[in-house]
Chain A
Amino acid sequence: MRLAIVFLIGVIFGTGITVSGMANPAKVLNFFDVAGGWDPSLIFVMGGALVTTFLGYKLVSTRDKPLLETGFRLPNMRNIDLKLVGGSALFGIGWGLAGFCPGGALPALGTGRWEVFAFTGALVTGIILAKALQSAAAKRMRAAT
Chain B
Amino acid sequence: MIETAFTPWASLLGGVLIGLAATLLMLVFGRVMGATGVLAGMLWPSSGQDFAWRAALLSGMVTGPFVVFALTGKMPTVEVPVSPLLLVIGGLIVGMGVTFGSGCTSGHGVCGMARLSSRSIVATLTFMSTTFATVYLVRHVVGG
Residues of A within 8 A of B (CB): 2-27, 29-30, 32-37, 39-42, 44-54, 56-57, 59-60, 63, 65-69, 71-75, 77-80, 83-111, 113, 115-116, 118-131, 134
Chain A residues within 8 Å of B40, by CB: 127, 131
Of residues 100 through 134 on chain B, the ones whose CB sits less than 8 Å from some CB of chain A are: 100-106, 108-115, 117-119, 122-124, 126-134
The answer for the CA separation of A78 and B120 in the assembled complex, in Å, is: 10
Are B25 and A122 interface neighbours, CB within 8 A?
no
Give me 8 other A-B pairs in contact (C-beta within 8 A), A18-B64, A122-B87 excluded. Answer: A7-B56, A40-B8, A50-B15, A50-B110, A74-B32, A92-B128, A95-B90, A127-B96
A-B contact pairs, 10 of them (CB 8 A): A15-B68, A21-B10, A29-B1, A29-B82, A44-B9, A97-B87, A98-B90, A98-B91, A108-B65, A118-B84
Residue of B nearest to A78 (CB): B119
Chain A residues within 8 Å of B99, by CB: 87, 126-127, 130-131, 134
Chain B residues within 8 Å of A67, by CB: 27-29
Nearest-CB distance from B56 to chain A (Å)? 4
A41, A71, A77, A106: the one contacting B61 at CB < 8 Å is: A106
Chain A residues within 8 Å of B6, by CB: 39-41
The answer for the CA separation of A115 and B105 in the assembled complex, in Å, is: 20
Are B62 and A14 interface neighbours, CB within 8 A?
yes
For the residues of B in contact with A, the DSSP-based class is: helix
The answer for the CA separation of A93 and B90 in the assembled complex, in Å, is: 7
Are A9 and B127 interface neighbours, CB within 8 A?
no
| Interface size range of chain B in the complex | 35 or more
Q: Say yes or no: A3-B52 contact (C-beta < 8 A), given A32-B131, A99-B90, A102-B94.
A: yes
Are A50 and B30 interface neighbours, CB within 8 A?
no
Residues of B within 8 A of A (CB): 1-36, 38-40, 43-44, 52-53, 56-68, 75-82, 84, 86-106, 108-115, 117-119, 122-124, 126-136, 138-140
Are B65 and A98 interface neighbours, CB within 8 A?
no
B9, B103, B135: the one contacting A96 at CB < 8 Å is: B135
Residue of A nearest to B57 (CB): A10
The answer for the CA separation of A47 and B89 in the assembled complex, in Å, is: 29
Are B12 and A48 interface neighbours, CB within 8 A?
yes
Residue of B nearest to A108 (CB): B78
Chain B residues within 8 Å of A93, by CB: 93, 97, 130-131, 134
Closest 10 CB pairs of A and B: A126-B95, A10-B60, A20-B14, A14-B64, A48-B15, A52-B19, A98-B90, A56-B23, A122-B91, A96-B134
Chain B residues within 8 Å of A44, by CB: 8-9, 11-12, 15
